[in-house]
Structure 1
Amino acid sequence: MLSATAPYEMLLGHFAAALVDETLPPRGVTSETRERIDVYRNNARLNRVAALTDAFANVVQLVGADYFCALARAYVDGTPARSANLHEDGMALPDFIRGFAPAADLPYLGDVAGVDWLLHRAYFAPDAKAVGSSALAELGPERFAAASLRFGPSVGVARSASWPIADILRMHDDGAPAQLDAGGQSVLIWREGFTVRWQALGPAEADAMAALMTGTVIQAVFAQTGADANSLLTQLFGHGLVLAIEEHHEDRL
């Protein structure tokens, strides 16, 4: 049975689809007002481009506002929005840039966009309460080593195999100019309060974080990667990035 609002919701859904598909005649629009839908289509595009410009600040700094707007318009025209929330609109932009022919001479741009997306996502991530120090004391070394970590929703790791993404972030924060031949770098990203923070990771640390974020047991992570467990774990717990310590209990007969 349809609800009382179902016809209205269906009409809105069809109108929304018509905003991104110019071949779709919108229902409920008369011949006198049909041409005016172009105003709505244009506003929808402009709103998406503006939201992308805000979300991908480092990319904008690298290529300039005019270039980015042209890139964003191409993305908007070729990538239908999957959510009414504009803050969720840019997830596919890094991959789009990697396949965007006019940006072929800027091969680092997609990886920088990946950093921007994680920075943006961290800012809008929901708040979460970090695990307290008492949990560590209760577990003891052996149980802790056999456990895995669950991180807060703002935590992410951006990795680039070829490009110095950490140096580019520093450059845009009044640091020295980045040298593109410096090689690949990785960045840990999170939010503290209302401030998004980031920290460069060495190769072993980045491997360790990638494994920890997939739920690999702590002891195995550091045995496999050779990362400094004390240094990395101190940073993770010190910044409140760990949401829970999860033990893995074997079934017993």
Structure 2
Amino acid sequence: MDYSRNWLFISELEQQKLAEIKLLIVGCGIGGVVAEQALRTGIRHITIADGDTVEASNLNRQNFTARDLGKSKAETIGHRLTNIDSTANVNIIPMYLRGDELNELIPSHDIVVNTIDFDAPEFPLVHKICERHGKTEIFPINLGFGSGMTILNKTTPGWLEHYQVEAHTEIKEAILQHLLHSGVIKDYLVNSARRYYQSQVEYDSQLAISSSISASMVVGAIVSMVKGEQIPKFPNFQYVDVMAPIII
């Protein structure tokens, strides 16, 4: 991969540091978009894990095409990355990671992007393992026409600890309420949340633009780490929304 066009914003030394990072992406929804942006920015050691297959409802926001329907998400994203750069170190794991696999994989990686389903017990487990081994966890969440993101490490509280909930199934509600009552979320999202709770649908509404912003925030945070910049950590979230542009 030729990263020469990055020169004005990423120094040669920073580019080398990015190339040395070992990135584990758990989940290939948002994670598949993260993986491509990470590779194009300079992260060359990427492990992608997901046991799901591509469905038609994924195509509005995830990194797949109609030709991928029915195929393994992890394998499809892996092939996409190697088609971009065949020299990159891409490790494909076409399965859902449980406790044993997470305990084995996380110690050998530097950063974990956690896009595991909220209802899975493995979601809070990622932080516990990262904390134990001094690794960094990045969590992105699609929000309408924008995204939220937070970073957890050994200095931050965990999900269950901070929100003071007993079960992993309560974390999603706690995060959403945290964001909705932050005072910065746009009114349209607050109104959408009311409709969401009233509808009681089995699936979330997510947009392609949000997945792209989520991926950009994750990769941007990794670049900031490489540059040695201070980044807000959990329980603080970063929030970006194209429906709330800054006018200059």
TM-score, normalization by structure 1:
0.25
Structure with a larger share of its residues in helix? 1
Structure with a larger share of its residues in strand? 2
TM-score, normalization by structure 2:
0.25
Rg: which structure is higher?
1
